[in-house]
């Protein structure tokens, strides 16, 4: 699958929502979703390109009402509709999760990691690592360069441990709406 549309629902369990600029904004208070809004989200999780008219038929609303609800759900930060690509189909044959131990301000290091083009996911964690970052590279040489010349060069990075992905067995974005 070169590009699969999906909807990522962001629930009230997130205290912060990371924006594409790397800045954080407080997550909206847990928005109460009625059965119709949940059904709209489920329709979009199945097919993010489904038309508002099709969704309306499935949930019992007009096309305009569905459009209005989708706009409210996206503007409030409850969901976003994005295209998900298959990195291997685009020439990125090496993916890895990198555990990062930090001395100093973890937020500054997380923001610096988030600014790197090869990094597609960054979270602060509790446990053995202060930060986990997922990276997508063209090959092993690019991964080594990324580690040595960019990630380990960030002030505060104490150590890293790299977990190279060998085979993806499951990746879902439809965790529901509670």
151 pLDDT higher than 70: yes
User: Quick check: 6 and 81 in contact, CB under 8 A?
Assistant: yes
The structure tokens 């997508």 sit at: 136
20 pLDDT higher than 70: no
User: Quick check: 59 and 39 in contact, CB under 8 A?
Assistant: yes
pLDDT of 27 reads 52
The structure tokens 């999780």 sit at: 45
Q: Choose the final residue of a domain: 33, 57, 85.
A: 85
Q: Choose the final residue of a domain: 68, 85, 102.
A: 85
Q: pLDDT tens digits, residue range 88-145? A: 888 889 999 999 999 999 999 999 999 999 999 999 999 999 999 999 999 999 999 9
What number of other Cβ atoms are within 10 A of residue 157's Cβ?
Answer: 21
Structure tokens at 178: 């509670």
Structure tokens at 100: 């990062």
Do 68 and 120 sit in the same domain of this protein? Answer: no
Residue 80's domain is classified under what CATH number? 1.10.10.10
Tell me the residue range of the domain where 136 lies.
Answer: 88-164
Do 57 and 92 sit in the same domain of this protein? Answer: no
Q: Tally the C-alpha atoms within 13 A of residue 141's C-alpha that lie toward its C-beta.
A: 0
154 pLDDT higher than 60: yes
Structure tokens at 74: 């996206």
Residue 94's domain is classified under what CATH number? 3.30.70.920
pTM over 0.75, yes/no:
no
Mean pLDDT score across all residues of the chain: 85
Q: Choose the final residue of a domain: 53, 85, 117.
A: 85
Tell me if 178 is assigned to some domain.
no
Tell me if 148 is assigned to some domain.
yes
Mean pLDDT lowest among 35-49, 50-64, 74-88: 74-88
CA 125/CA 48 separation, integer angstroms: 30
């Amino acid at each position: 699958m070169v590009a699969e549309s999906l909807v990522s629902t962001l629930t009230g369990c997130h205290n912060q929502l990371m924006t594409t600029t790397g800045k954080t904004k407080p997550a909206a208070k847990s928005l109460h979703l009625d059965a119709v809004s949940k059904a709209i989200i489920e329709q979009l999780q199945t097919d993010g390109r489904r038309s508002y008219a099709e969704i309306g038929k499935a949930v019992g609303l007009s096309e305009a009402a569905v459009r209005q609800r989708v706009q409210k759900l996206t503007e409030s930060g409850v969901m976003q509709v994005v295209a998900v690509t298959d990195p291997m189909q685009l020439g990125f044959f090496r993916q890895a999760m990198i555990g990062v131990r930090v001395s100093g301000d973890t937020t500054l290091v997380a923001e610096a990691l988030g600014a790197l083009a090869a990094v597609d996911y960054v979270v602060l964690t509790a446990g053995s690592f202060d930060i986990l970052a997922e990276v997508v590279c063209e090959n092993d040489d690019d991964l080594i360069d990324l580690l040595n010349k960019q990630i380990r060069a960030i002030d505060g990075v104490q150590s890293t441990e790299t977990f190279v992905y060998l085979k993806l067995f499951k990746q879902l974005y439809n965790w529901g709406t509670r």
